[in-house]
Amino acid sequence: MGFFKRLKDVVDAKANKALEKHEDPIEMLDLSIVKKEKLLQDAKKQCANFIASVDGIRNEKKEILEKIEKYEEATKAAILKEDVEKAQSFVKQKLDLEEKLKNSENRIADHDEKIQFIKDKIQDLEIEVSKMKSKKQELATRLDVAEISNEINETLAGLSDDKGISLEELEKKVSQKENYGKALEDLKPKNEDAVLDEYINSSPVVDDKIEKELERIKEQMKK
């Protein structure tokens, strides 16, 4: 296989896949139903014309039977009149008509068999179209549900993939800025009052009893 032939096969395969992806199964089924309904309509018309033709042969058969009966009566009359020549002529006409009647009956039987075959095919096609219409309703419902389900799944998949804003990360950044602000606050130069206030506030609280004991010991050390 040549290079261009292989390339064409690859391109055709990809094109077919692309078409299949965008094909609407319900639309395809609709087109198939319309096509089969057209075939069904044409088949019914052809069958009706065929039946009409066979009915024409039946009418011919009826006329032949009537003529055969008349030639039968004419033959009997000729025999009674002892008209041998006429009797022979009537018999000959009667035999020819009986041969024609046999051919007509064979044609009718053959056509009736074909008509029944066509009717069976028409019935099969009607059943097939009915099944396709029923299947279309089922597939349309399933397709609607599948499309809705796919949309939901795509939405949920998008929510899972899109992390969005991380609250923990934001809280961490805010805490870092708060800590940075506190650090700057500690590094600011303090005035005298602030230093004294800090020293006072940081001094331990002395219990009254402990303070009195300290004073006693200091007085005792002075002696």
Residues 174 and 157 placed together within one structural domain of the fold: no
Q: What is the pLDDT of residues 107-137, one digit of tens each?
A: 999 999 999 999 999 999 999 999 988 888 8
| CB proximity list for 213: less than 8 A, separation 6 or greater | none
- Give the number of domains in the chain: 2
Residues 12 and 104 placed together within one structural domain of the fold: yes
Residues 12 and 118 placed together within one structural domain of the fold: yes
Query: For residue 24, which of 147, 177, 120 has the smallest C-alpha distance?
Result: 147
C-alpha span between 23 and 17 (Å, rounded)? 10
pLDDT at residue 204 in the model? 59
Residues 129 and 198 placed together within one structural domain of the fold: no
**What residues make up the domain containing 213?**
167-222
C-alpha span between 26 and 139 (Å, rounded)? 7
pLDDT at residue 60 in the model? 94
Residue where a domain stops, chosen among 161, 194, 212:
161
CATH of the domain at 114: 1.10.287
C-alpha span between 167 and 174 (Å, rounded)? 11
Residues 140 and 171 placed together within one structural domain of the fold: no
Residues 112 and 128 placed together within one structural domain of the fold: yes
pLDDT at residue 26 in the model? 82
Residues 50 and 139 placed together within one structural domain of the fold: yes
pLDDT at residue 2 in the model? 61
pLDDT at residue 169 in the model? 76
C-alpha span between 155 and 147 (Å, rounded)? 12
Classify the C-alpha dihedral 162-167-169-173 as positive or negative: positive
Residues present in the chain in total: 223
pLDDT in single tens digits along all 223 residues of the chain: 565 555 556 556 555 554 455 567 788 888 889 999 999 999 999 999 999 999 999 999 999 999 999 999 999 999 999 999 999 999 999 999 999 999 999 999 999 999 999 999 999 999 999 998 888 888 888 878 888 888 887 777 765 555 556 667 777 877 887 777 776 666 666 666 665 666 666 655 556 677 777 777 777 777 6
Neighbouring C-beta atoms of residue 64, cutoff 10 Å: 19
pTM of the entire predicted model? 0.52
Residue where a domain stops, chosen among 137, 161, 185:
161
pLDDT at residue 19 in the model? 45
C-alpha span between 58 and 38 (Å, rounded)? 30
